Chain A
Amino acid sequence: MMETLIKHLPILPIVIPLMGAALSLVVGEKFIARQQLIAWICVLLMLGVGVAAIQHTASGYLSVYLVGNWQAPFGIALALDKLSALMLLLTAAIAAVVLLAAQRSALTKDTFFIPLFLLQLMGLNGAFLTADLFNLFVFFEVLLAASYGLLLQQPDRAKTNAATHYVVINLIGSALFLIAATLLYGVTGTLNMADLSQKINALPPASRPLAVSAGFILLTVFAIKAALLPLNFWLTGTYRAAAMPVAALFALLTKVGIVAIIRTLTLIYPDGTFGNVAMNKVLIVAAPITMLIAACGALVARELKTLIGWSIVASAGMLVTAVAIGNAKALSGALFYLLGSTMASACLFLIASAIVDNNALKSTSTTSKQPTWLYTSALFLICAMTLTAMPPFSGFIGKAVILAGAAQHLWPTWLTAMVLVSGLFMLVAYVRLGSRLFFSHDASTLSSIGYLPMAALAAGIVALTLFAAPIQRFTDQAAVELRQPQIMQGNVLGKRPMDAIKKTAPMK
């Protein structure tokens, strides 16, 4: 049993939500309870798979799965390395919280919410797992389509307008993705990332410029997803319009872009290759500026939702900066930072739905709401400290590690200055808005969601600090693994399919 599980481990995070979605559609809208049951089963299974994946990869394996039993690079291969394992578990965790929140705010009753929610998860997991560039495109489309649907639940004017921008921008992104991916095929004749990373380096000089151009277009696409400057504008509006539990789920969307960028710069164009050099030159400038601009946006944000949106952009800038720095320390720091910032922004979105608007606040009495105020503000504090990289939470730890990595880079001053200055801006922004939200009036009531979902996320953030040691040992290993593309190449291309099922002789 166990080894069958391990054997099929990489496909499960895709199959489970897919089947769940299919079943919940077959069950039909009328039976919400059954749909929710299905969703919970899927999410819990995903959590289990996520834990298993962490254990499996932590014990030194990088398991490759040949879908349809076709040898890579011809068939589609899934690769479960430490990075994808980390993302799988994070996704499952966020999914559980979001599902709980959605259920409590009766969002699950919305049209097709459960199927779309599950397909969103399928898309995310697939994007984290696949080792095939075009397949990555497909999973991007899956998760995007699902996100359109989730964003448009109960469409009103605001949602429709936000969706218009979001969809059109992403359709352009998809077109660019297609161009980039197939351009790479036209140059190298393959689509498997591990194969690409070998073939690109073996290219004749005449083809190299095309390969790099393809890389840059690819980067543009992922930068849109990761909300990197100057492609970040879709984010705040979309997140503001979305129902808050959905927005909490969307906190993962930018991370897909980040992971894709990591894959691009560590696998397709690994460190030291001609493509990588060129791209890092650009990113090492664009990413820190993104941080700064995002900090500016945060400074002028008048609503919590907008502020969170900008924080997400800022953390994306931070992460890509780390990726551009590229050494193992920075990467490890980035992975650690990613966990905390994702949970914190998700949690803040839930809090945002919990804080009622100022006018309502003024009217509420001081004493009666004291505990509510206390808990809400405590949760807010933890998340804000994480996103502004205030110690002792994971934001600070990750940032410190990234900066330690930056110290080994060519331009330590530029990087450190940008990181710290934008950090200060974020701090000021949060202090301004936070004191306005929690100080100028004494109470804030909670929506139907209740504390459990937020408390769970906050607990996760605290755990990141308390158990930093084992987690960092894992991220360190993950970073080292990423820095050695040959590991991925060897495992993916070296994986032999099983002896085929007995087939009758081909027809004459």
Chain B
Amino acid sequence: MSLELLVALGVGVLTTCGVYLVLRARLFDVVLGLTLLSYAVNIFIFFMGRIAIAKAPIIKSGVPASLANYADPLPQALVLTAIVISFGMTAVLLAIAVRAHIENGDDKVSNEGSQ
């Protein structure tokens, strides 16, 4: 089995699990789903720079600065941003979940939200 296939499979499984949980009716489960989904997305972003092993993008003197010797740093930077943002949003959603639970006496997503 090739690395490419393995990575693709991993992304697929994580996405599937994430989406399924996101479609649950209770907010905490949705949060779990979103976390899984963000794992999937982060890995997806990361590998848009293709596969590189033992080529950390930290320039060592003497090693020519090219994609042949270093992993693509850009997607890594993007993933960093993505991680931070999804972390923040998870916190927000958790807070809302707690609030909703206290307002509704249950963390089931109510239908009043948009009707």
Which residues of A come within 8 Å of B, CB atoms? 134, 138, 141, 145, 148, 152, 155-158, 160-168, 171-172, 174-175, 178-179, 182-183, 185-186, 191, 233-238, 508
Contacts and interface: CB of A to CB of B under 8 A. Distances in A.
B103 A160 contact: yes
Interface of B: 22, 27, 30, 34, 37-38, 41, 44-45, 48-49, 61, 74-75, 78, 81-82, 85-86, 88-89, 92-93, 96-97, 99-100, 103-104, 109-110, 112-115
A161 B37 contact: no
A141 B109 CA distance: 23
A161 B110 contact: yes
B44 A161 contact: no
A235 B22 CA distance: 20
8 contacts: A134-B78, A145-B92, A164-B27, A164-B113, A168-B22, A171-B93, A185-B75, A185-B78
A157 B96 contact: no
A138 B99 contact: no
Contact of B114 (A175, A182, A237): A237
Nearest to A74: B74
Contacts of A179: 41, 44
A138 B115 CA distance: 29
Given A157-B104, A160-B100, A234-B114, A182 B45 contact: yes
B92 A178 contact: no
Contact of A163 (B37, B96, B104): B96
Given A234-B114, A236-B114, A237-B113, A160 B99 contact: yes
A313 to B, nearest CB: 12
Nearest to A138: B81
Given A134-B78, A155-B99, A182-B48, A161 B61 contact: no
A178 B82 CA distance: 8
B48 A186 contact: yes
Nearest to B44: A179
B88 A145 contact: yes
Given A175-B38, A182-B75, A185-B74, A165 B109 contact: yes
A172 B22 contact: yes
A236 B113 CA distance: 9
Given A157-B104, A182-B44, A182-B78, A171 B89 contact: yes
A160 B96 contact: yes
Nearest first, the 6 closest Cβ-Cβ pairs linking A and B are: A237-B114, A165-B113, A186-B48, A157-B103, A182-B45, A161-B113
Best-surrounded residue of B34, B81, B112 (most CB of chain A within 10 A): B112
A161 B100 contact: yes
Contacts, number: 100
Given A162-B112, A163-B96, A182-B75, A174 B85 contact: yes
A167 B89 contact: yes
Contact of A238 (B82, B86, B110, B114): B114
Contacts of A160: 96, 99-100, 103-104
Contact of A164 (B41, B85, B100): B100
Given A163-B96, A182-B75, A234-B114, 13 more contacts: A148-B92, A160-B100, A161-B104, A162-B113, A162-B114, A164-B27, A168-B34, A168-B93, A171-B89, A174-B86, A178-B41, A179-B44, A182-B78
Contacts of A156: 103
Nearest to A508: B61
Contacts of A134: 78, 81
A398 B16 CA distance: 45
B16 to A, nearest CB: 14
B48 A185 contact: yes
Contacts of B41: 175, 178-179
Contacts of A148: 92
Contacts of B88: 145
A153 B61 CA distance: 53
Contacts of A155: 99, 103
Contacts of A145: 88-89, 92
A177 to B, nearest CB: 10
B112 A158 contact: yes
Contacts of A138: 81, 85
A263 B37 CA distance: 28
A508 B60 CA distance: 10
A236 B110 CA distance: 15
User: Which of A148, A155, A175, A191 counts the most chain B CB atoms within 10 A?
Assistant: A175
B2 to A, nearest CB: 17
Contact of B112 (A161, A172, A234, A508): A161
B10 to A, nearest CB: 15
Contacts of A167: 89, 92-93, 96
Contacts of B96: 152, 160, 163-164, 167
Contacts of B49: 186
Contact of A175 (B37, B99, B109, B113): B37
A178 B45 contact: yes
A158 B113 CA distance: 7
B48 A233 contact: no
A170 B27 CA distance: 15
A161 B75 CA distance: 35
Nearest to A234: B114
Contact of A183 (B30, B48, B103, B109): B48
